[in-house]
Structure 1
Amino acid sequence: MNKQLAEQLRKRSKAAWLERIGKIVSFSALALITLTVFAIIIFVASKGLATFFDNHVNFWNFLTGKNWNPTITDKSGQPEVGALPMITGSFVVTLLSALLATPFAIGTAIFMTEISPRRGARILQPVTELLVGIPSVVYGFIGLTVVVPVIRTIFGGSGFGILAGTFVLFVMILPTVTSMSVDALKTVPRYYREAALALGATRWQTIYKVILRAATPGLLTAIVFGMARAFGEALAVQMVIGNAALMPSSLVSPSSTLTSVLTTGIGNTVMGSLDNNALWSLALVLLVMSLIFNLIVRLIGRKGAMHK
């Protein structure tokens, strides 16, 4: 009898087997995701670095050059693969759209969480979710048929340029920044509000001096996420920015971004050629910037956790 009981105790129960299977599946999925990420990084890096190792393009000239025409060489014999116009266009469009979206997103989040939570959740939350679900091509088409003609009428020129791209990206990143800002404001403990009101602070003083300051790390994370979304957007920006690989001379002059040049040129080049390798180098710059955005988000999150 004791031997049978001992054998039963030594046997794994069904729950233990299920837990073990669950751990194996979870770790397998984690390993697959990790390998996929590293494989993408290695693949893009190998293709992007071929411009400098196989085609012997000067790295500094690539980053600071202002002419983009891989089929032409300059006086020194170097191909004209200057990426500075695209890098500048990407950063300018991203920063302007983030600056434009931030006050609207934070104001909407404050209304939804502090001023009128019920009405905000009933009206603004479905609108935000609807904006998230609209495909990029629809934003680009609206920008092409509405934003570009309006800019052309007001400022003259073709209407294509950084300003048109900024307005399109502003609408695209607004729901992302808004939803994350709402989550950041909801994480502020309720007793912060109660303590401020008990000390005689008004609602606006409580929001400005207590809630927003306590939620600053989360709000900064939302802004950086929105910038990362804007920096990597391709199709919508391509349709309204003009796709001219030139240094931006004004907000209404045709320009280009890293993603717009990639989407228009990658299908017209031969794998392994200088043109193709140069485009992969632009993709590598884009990948590095995306990783930097993610690192910034993690740093902000750590600092926010340390202050709590």
Structure 2
Amino acid sequence: MNNIKKELNMASKETRQDSIGRFISYFCITIIGVLVISIIYFITSRGLTMFFANHVKLSDFLLKTTWNPGTLDSHGKPEVGALPMIVTSFSVTILSAILATPFAIAVALFMTEYADKRGAKLLQSVIELLVGIPSVIYGYIGLSVVVPMIRHIYGGTGFGILAGTIVLFVMILPTITSLTVDSLRAVPQHYRQVSLSLGATKWQTIYKLILRVGTPGILTAIIFGMARAFGEALAVQMVIGNAAIMPKNLVSVASTLTSQLTTGIGNTVLGTFANNALWSLALVLLIMSLLFNTLVRIVGNKGAVKNERKNKQ
């Protein structure tokens, strides 16, 4: 009888603990959900104010090339063309991803396929060190080393898309490398063994099997790296030149969405037209962030479906 009571007390105690744990989990999830929804609502409402309250056309905002919210053009319309910042943001993001991807894949292959445990741990420590360096340090190094080097080689001021691309290349390299390593390590070991037992060389196994199986994870890593580059503000601001004009080449001064936001938001008053225009830039950044997250989910789901089909076969 006493044993039965003890068992019932233990069961009720575990039930209470489960209930408390479930409540805490749901509470935290609710707080996070409310926080995300609040951020999206706040940025969206502020970002749309310029179009509805100030009657600015979306086409003018996205397609015009003159950004000067404080003045009016010859037709009496505000000059809020965001195309130069959008083009520059995509340029530095795509170029830095193109530059970083081969290096990231090469390092990931070395860590997973060639290096011993000691070498892999050493490279992992280096990658973690690069992740931990603050953005302002990257920007200062770019300002002190990259910009003078570009100025010496190509002339001009040295500021521009090329300098921003090089800085972002170093910044997103650890992100792409780490996620690529995880993707390659997720490839089952017996895939490698079967390929080698059938007479394939090491490189043939890597090129025709491991990289193809790990492609969804590698694409996910690249998208995460691009999202990191697209949203970077301080380091890019220090080397891009911060001129809201359409870039003529890779070494002409320009401005990204984030650099324009960080330089202009402190010089405007909340509720003014100039401030509303900057919130519209923030809305573009939010939309791009959601787009990157959606792409990650799509690539991940396609990769999971392909792996399930291969396992069934």
What does 1:3-82 correspond to in 2, within 5 Å?
9=8, 13-82=12-81
2:130 alignment partner in structure 1? 131
What does 1:217-296 correspond to in 2, within 5 Å?
217-296=216-295
CA distance in 2, matches of 1:192, 1:254: 50
Higher mean C-alpha deviation, range 6-15 or range 224-233: 6-15
2:211 alignment partner in structure 1? 212
2:114 alignment partner in structure 1? 115
Letter in 1 for 2:135: S
Letter in 2 for 1:18: Q
1:199 alignment partner in structure 2? 198
Q: CA deviation at 1:123?
A: 2.1
CA distance in 1, matches of 2:7, 2:256: 67
Q: CA deviation at 1:14?
A: 1.1
SS at match of 1:69: strand
Structure 1: gaps (5+ residues) = none
In structure 2, the CA distance between the partners of 1:199 and 1:246, relative to structure 1 (3 Å rule), is: same
> Does the 8 Å CA contact 1:111/1:117 hold for their aligned counterparts?
no
Q: CA deviation at 1:71?
A: 1.1
2:311 alignment partner in structure 1? none
CA distance in 1, matches of 2:91, 2:287: 17
Q: CA deviation at 1:116?
A: 1.2
What does 1:151-162 correspond to in 2, within 5 Å?
151-162=150-161
Q: CA deviation at 1:12?
A: 5.7
Deviations 1:242-289 (CA, angstroms, capped at 9, x unpaired): 000011100000001000000000000010000000000000000000
> Does the 8 Å CA contact 1:85/1:256 hold for their aligned counterparts?
yes
4+ runs of 1 displaced by more than 3 Å? 4-12
Letter in 2 for 1:173: I
Q: CA deviation at 1:45?
A: 0.4
CA distance in 2, matches of 1:226, 1:112: 19
1:180 alignment partner in structure 2? 179
> Does the 8 Å CA contact 1:112/1:119 hold for their aligned counterparts?
no
SS at match of 2:69: strand
- Aligned CA-pair RMSD: 1.7
Structure 2: gaps (5+ residues) = 308-313
In structure 2, the CA distance between the partners of 1:8 and 1:169, relative to structure 1 (3 Å rule), is: closer
Q: CA deviation at 1:76?
A: 2.3
TM-score (normalised: structure 2): 0.95
Q: CA deviation at 1:121?
A: 1.5
CA distance in 1, matches of 2:202, 2:297: 32
TM-score (normalised: structure 1): 0.97
CA distance in 2, matches of 1:5, 1:223: 58
In structure 2, the CA distance between the partners of 1:7 and 1:107, relative to structure 1 (3 Å rule), is: closer
Between the two proteins, the alignment pairs up a number of residues equal to 307
Q: CA deviation at 1:122?
A: 3.0
SS at match of 2:70: strand
> Does the 8 Å CA contact 1:111/1:120 hold for their aligned counterparts?
no
Higher mean C-alpha deviation, range 75-84 or range 41-50: 75-84
In structure 2, the CA distance between the partners of 1:43 and 1:199, relative to structure 1 (3 Å rule), is: same
> Does the 8 Å CA contact 1:176/1:226 hold for their aligned counterparts?
yes
CA distance in 1, matches of 2:5, 2:103: 67
Aligned residues: percent identity? 64
